[in-house]
Structure 1
Amino acid sequence: MTALRAETADAGRAPAASDNEQVADMLREMAALLAAQGDNPYRAAAYRRAADTVAALPHSVRETFEREGIAGLDTLPAIGAGIAAAIGEMLSRGRWSRLDRLRGDGDADAVFRTIPGVGPELARRLHEALGVDTLEALEVAAHDGRLDQAPRLGARRAAAIRAALTDMLDRGRALRRGAARPTSAQEPPIEWLLDVDRDYRAAAQAGNLPKIAPRRFNPTGEAWLPVLHTQRGDWHFTALFSNTARAHELDHVHDWVVLYGEDKDHAERQYTVVTPAAGTLAGRRVVRGREADCRAWYAAH
């Protein structure tokens, strides 16, 4: 995806698309992808209405963003808190991680390499060990103890990554005023995660889900990766098989399922569901990082 950029008035060169046009195009593309992938039609319609609002603005959406932050975007017609945060990400980072994901363009290794001191090998290990693919999800892991438990990392290296990551995101949040630091306090019930995982795998096996063509590990460009959008209570979930190097290496692509959960406040959480081969939960579906919840749930059921 081309990064958002300012218009140019260079002689002899056509002006670049305005921020408004590029943001509106991304919102419309998201609406089209959600519709094609069977998501709730009201969600797709919300993105289309937001795109129309941005395209019709008499001024640059970036002006509103830089002057008033996400709160200012939230006051625009048909743009709520979730879409306002998405537009803030587009304007401050030049891309939109959720759109990349549904396009099949997600690349966690490349995202993590933007952290000072994190090279290609460490980026790959962080992605594989923690099962996260966004800076925000990595920040949650850095503050809830999972980063410190990553293999072959060490306390000093973990602390350095945590500090660099916090500095990066805090600078972005200062620009996006109002974007709060994520916490692990709000989590969906474990039974919802296991239920979405079960529905996804059953529908994928039956061939009942739309498929996307991931960019990584897919030299033929085949659309093979099933995607599910579903709702549980106030949570919206997107489910995909894990398309990581480690999943391919261990032949677990069709066992490891990545769930992206968006709560009512539009904060996103990421979970990976696997089938352990050993231990007290061997042979059962387990949400990484929430093993204790899984044990309690299986004991009760």
Structure 2
Amino acid sequence: MVVIESNAPLQAAEQIEGIRENKTFAKQLSEIADLLQEQHANEFRVRAYHAAAETVANLHCPVRDILERDGINGLVNLPTIGHSIAGLLQSAIQVGRIPLLDRLRGQSNAEHFFATLPGLGPELSHRIYDHLHIETLSELLIAAKDGRLEHVPGIGRKRREAIQASLTHRGVTQPPDSVSSPESQVTVDELLHIDCEYRKRVSEGTLTQIHPAGQKGSPSSAIPVWHTEQEGRHYTAMYSNTARAQQQHATHDWVIVFRDDASAHGRWTIITARFGELSGFRIVLGREQDCVAYYRQHNAYHQPKAGQTRYPELPTQWEEDAGRTGIHG
């Protein structure tokens, strides 16, 4: 039963629509729980998403209103809604997608993450995703504020400032510290351990496989997925199926590790470096110096050969106009 708090017809209609939207969000969270169960994830993780779905389905206030009024902390304060699930709901509201659900379905939809912002078309959205490994508007705001966004080819100072202004105008806020910087909480040792275990299990053929939509009849399209827990931190590891990985013929080399639990969420890409000082080693993109320290500690580090460039598997230059629709950088 829906309780309508307003007597004004327009406001009442908006509240009814918001409650219906809550039901949609609840179904998406339930689907995440079901997919996690099918893929043999930790039962605690499965129950957490089912509980969150029940909370959202029974709310008398639209989730959208809570986010607009109290920010992401308002969502975190709801029963059974932790930081990670609050971030998923925020993404569903502000971007129209839940990246975790896309991943568990075997889909790659990076072109949609930021394409709703003025000046950020599908190409530039993909580029931000590939270079910074972020997929929510809150994370994009942080990247704009700390300057990392200017490291993405095609985004200069003016474009970064325009993106930041657009996000602020939309009411996008920076999440709590525990969510905004998962990299500071997860060591390279842990990420490389997950990568090693995942690839070992792939070779043994023991993992559940998911098929991207429209490719279920193609064995080559199957993506092995592994859900694991490391000292209370919940991770999902799978081979990358992005357009960039396909272009680089790296769909069986690039491993994407995602974290989603009550404390934080994050995303990391792990690849085999082909050139440079870490040639032949598995590296966490964006954490190269940490990887150098890791391999030095394990006496595996070697110096680069003369004339080699650093990580040529990463694009160093893009067409400035690619993806531009209105913001000039």
54, 57, 60: which one aligns with 1:55: 57
Question: Relative to structure 1, is the Cα distance of residues 129 and 171 closer, same or farther in structure 2, using a 3 angstrom cutoff?
Answer: same
**Alpha-carbon distance between aligned partners in 2 of 1:241 and 1:189, rounded to the nearest angstrom:** 20
| Corresponding residue of 1:295 | 292
* Count of aligned pairs: 283
Greater Cα shift, 65-74 or 90-99: 65-74
Unaligned 5+ segments in structure 2 are: 1-9, 299-329
* Unpaired stretches in structure 1, ≥5 consecutive residues: 1-5, 10-14
Q: Is the 8 A contact 2:18 2:62 kept in 1?
A: no
Counterpart-to-counterpart distance in 2, 1:202 and 1:187? 25
The 1-side partners of 2:203 and 2:140 are apart by: 30
Q: Distance in 1 between matches of 2:246 and 2:259?
A: 24
Distance 2:129 2:95 in 1: 20
From 268, 271, 274, give the equivalent of 1:277.
274
Pairwise mapping of residues 85-164 of structure 1 onto structure 2 (< 5 A)? 85-138=87-140, 142=144, 147-150=149-152, 153=154, 157-164=155-162
Alpha-carbon deviation of 1:133?
Answer: 4.7
Letter in 2 for 1:55: A
User: Structure 1 residues 277, 50: closer, same or farther in 2, change over 3 A?
Assistant: closer
**Shift of the alpha carbon at 1:55?**
2.4
Alpha-carbon offset, residue 166 of structure 1:
2.5
Q: For 1:31 and 1:192, how far apart are their aligned partners in 2?
A: 25
Distance (whole Å) between structure 2 residues aligned to residue 80 and residue 143 of structure 1: 25
Classify the secondary structure of the residue corresponding to 2:278: coil
Q: Which has the higher contact order (CA 8 A, sep 6+)?
A: 2
Task: State the distance in 2 between where 1:264 and 1:17 align.
Answer: 25
Q: Could you tell me the TM-score, scaled by structure 1's length?
A: 0.78
Whether the aligned pair in 1 keeps the contact of 2:138 and 2:175 (CA below 8 Å) is no
Contact 1:37 1:229 in 2 (8 A): yes
Contact 2:51 2:80 in 1 (8 A): yes
Distance in 2 between the 1:293 and 1:227 partners? Answer: 26
2:325 paired residue number: none
Distance 1:76 1:119, change over 3 A: closer
What is the root-mean-square deviation in Å for CA atoms of aligned residues?
Answer: 3.4
CA distance in 2, matches of 1:124, 1:53: 33
Deviation per residue, 1:158-178 (Å, 9 max, x gap): 323432332344345x36x67
In the superposition, relative to structure 1, how do residues 106 and 189 fare at CA in structure 2: closer, same or farther (>3 Å)?
A: same
Q: Distance in 2 between matches of 1:263 and 1:53?
A: 17
> What is the deviation of 1:215?
4.3
Which of 259, 268, 276 is the matching residue for 1:261? Answer: 259
**1:66-122 deviation digits (Å, cap 9, x = unpaired):** 444444434433333433333333334333222122122331123243343234444
User: Residue 22 of structure 1: CA displacement?
Assistant: 1.0
Q: Is contact 2:141-2:174 (8 Å) kept?
A: no
The CA distance in 2 between the partners of 1:221 and 1:94, in whole Å, is 29
Write the distance in 2 (CA, Å) between the matches of 1:51 and 1:57. 10
Q: Per the alignment, in what secondary structure is the counterpart of residue 116 of structure 2?
A: coil
- Residue 192 of structure 1 pairs with residue 190 of structure 2: yes
- Contact 1:135–1:165 (CA under 8 A) maintained in structure 2: no
1:209-232 CA distances to partner (integer Å, 9 max, x unpaired)?
11222249x485666011122222
TM-score, structure 2 as length reference: 0.72
Q: Is 2:23 the counterpart of 1:44?
A: no
Change (3 A) 1:117 1:75: closer
Q: Return the match for 2:231 from 212, 215, 233.
A: 233
Q: Is the 8 A contact 1:28 1:48 kept in 2?
A: yes
Letter in 2 for 1:203: R
The amino acid of 1:285's aligned partner reads: R
Quickly say closer, same or farther: Cα 1:7–1:211, change in 2 above 3 A: farther
Instruction: Give percent identity, aligned residues only.
Output: 37
Contact 1:140 1:184 (8 Å CA) reproduced: no
Q: 1:62: Cα distance to partner?
A: 4.0
**SS, match of residue 39 in structure 1:** coil
The answer to whether the Cα contact below 8 Å between 2:29 and 2:52 also exists between their aligned partners in 1 is yes
